[in-house]
Structure 1
């Protein structure tokens, strides 16, 4: 899950290369703003999960996208209590 600088917008997505995807979101937010993440400047990582299977990852993404904001906030807080940006902590 990524957010904007003010932590007002949450974006959920799946990738097999998290650093590359964060860079793409950042580039789009500065340049074309064609994607949701780019339009709303969502490139600050707050929460992530790892899966061995793309099918499981996609199923989890779909599940999380159905959640209300409050439930997403509780999930983020359980993993990252201070809502620190984790961009430089992921490999």
Structure 2
């Protein structure tokens, strides 16, 4: 399982999600780009800036909830640990 963070081209929105197939999920996000009924489409979030691998779905869901509760500054600091150029 993966936890991932996407950003939009303007760096104004961060999206946190989980999946068991990161490549497929990123493709799906790209296909919904511009679809106003989807968060990632409405805000054009399709640029991967961070991901983590989790042992199972329970751990991934817990980590996703933890990250979603963080401030933007804390999320940016997490991203910078592995992606300083984001």
Match of 2:54 among 23, 40, 51: 51
How far apart are 1:52 and its partner, in Å? Answer: 1.4
Matches of 1:27 and 1:14, distance apart in 2: 17
How far apart are 1:16 and its partner, in Å? Answer: 0.6
TM superposition score normalised by structure 1 = 0.85
1:67 equivalent in structure 2: 70
Return 5+ residue gaps in structure 1 as ranges. 84-91
RMSD (Å), alpha carbons: 0.9
Count of residues paired in the alignment: 82
Q: Does 1:41 align with 2:44?
A: yes
TM superposition score normalised by structure 2 = 0.90
Return 5+ residue gaps in structure 2 as ranges. none
Matches of 1:77 and 1:20, distance apart in 2: 24
Aligned partner of residue 8 in structure 1, secondary structure: coil
| Consecutive aligned runs of 4 or more in structure 1 exceeding 2 Å deviation | none
1:23-73 CA-to-partner distances (Å, cap 9, x unmatched) read 11111114x332111111101000000011110000000000000000000
